């Protein structure tokens, strides 16, 4: 298990044993470890690339991971996994996956309905024994991700220049949703179920865990700013779901940004 120490009691770790929920079967980025507590849940970790085209979303498998000195870790991902659905043990037809994707897109636009629809989703999935798994698909190319300790946290560099076809790169930065249950965007504070599933936010959004005393935000890297990137935040805690995070949606496959860490207190 590789570890990138940020400061005393705070590090990023590569732990391939974390395989929970619908994201089991795909690679994960580095996980935050705070005072010995792994903040993983069902999340994708930090700096995980996903390739989204008009017709499909392609997830990564891990080619290699290695340390680059004491202050950096490099991971290389292959974008070659897709999500398939099963109903009562039988593979669902292709239209079911497309319908599920359209439903997610629809409820993401109506934040006031999301928690009700998540509860409905859990009930329907349990009743009809709906499950999803990651399976190999046509390889879309590889993506190199480098994590380097910086003054404000960790600098993440992503090179997806080999990715094929028309699409957008989504970079996930996720932790477990049961702990990270408070979102600050400027003067607005959202708690628990008030936090929507993926929803556009400004770059000053901070996702916090009052129980751990830690928050994260995304900031510009060496390239200067986050212009041209869309920032999203979200949280889902339900059957087979336990994540909260910040994501970047970018048209270009090469980028750099900072994951910044903040201290926070319960009730503050």
Q: What is the mean pLDDT of each run of 10 residues along the chain (268 residues)?
A: 93 87 83 95 95 87 92 96 76 69 59 64 68 82 96 93 89 96 93 85 93 94 68 86 92 90 79
Q: Provide the sign of the torsion angle of the four alpha carbons 216, 222, 224, 225, taken in this order.
A: negative
The values of phi and psi at residue 130, to 5°, are: -85, 130
Residue spans of the domains in the chain: they are 3-263
State in Å, rounded, how far the first CA of the chain is from the last one.
35
pLDDT score, position 21:
62
Give the sign of the dihedral formed by CA 199, CA 49, CA 27, CA 56: positive
Write down the pLDDT at residue 207.
97
**Residue 118: per-residue pLDDT:** 64
pLDDT at site 84 = 74
Residue 125 structure tokens = 């999935």
Determine the pLDDT at residue 46.
98
Q: What was the pLDDT predicted at 5? A: 95
Query: Residue 126 in 3-state DSSP?
Result: helix
Contact 156, 256 (CB under 8 A): yes
């Amino acid at each position: 298990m590789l570890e990138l120490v940020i400061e005393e009691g705070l590090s990023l770790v590569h732990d391939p044993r974390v395989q929970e929920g619908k994201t089991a079967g795909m690679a994960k980025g580095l996980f935050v470890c705070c005072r010995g507590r792994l903040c993983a849940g069902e999340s994708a970790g930090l700096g995980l690339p996903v390739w989204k085209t008009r017709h499909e979303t392609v997830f990564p498998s891990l080619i290699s991971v290695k340390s680059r000195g004491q202050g950096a870790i490099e991971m290389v991902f292959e974008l070659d996994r897709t999500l398939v659905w099963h109903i009562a043990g039988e593979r669902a037809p292709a239209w079911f996956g497309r319908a599920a994707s359209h439903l997610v897109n629809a409820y993401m636009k109506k934040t006031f309905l999301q928690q009700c629809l998540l509860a409905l989703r859990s009930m329907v999935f349990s009743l009809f024994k709906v499950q999803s798994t990651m399976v190999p698909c046509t390889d879309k190319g590889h993506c190199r991700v480098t994590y380097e300790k910086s003054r404000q946290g960790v600098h993440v560099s992503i090179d997806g220049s080999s990715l094929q076809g028309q699409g957008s790169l989504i970079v996930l930065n996720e932790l477990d949703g049961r702990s990270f249950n408070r979102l600050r965007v400027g003067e607005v504070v959202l708690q628990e179920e008030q936090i929507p599933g993926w929803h556009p936010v400004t770059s000053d959004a901070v996702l916090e865990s009052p129980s751990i005393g830690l928050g994260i935000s995304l900031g510009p890297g060496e390239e200067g700013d986050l212009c041209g990137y869309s920032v999203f935040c979200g949280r889902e805690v339900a059957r087979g779901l336990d994540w909260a995070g910040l994501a970047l949606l970018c048209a270009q496959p090469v980028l750099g940004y900072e994951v910044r860490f903040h201290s926070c207190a319960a009730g503050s």
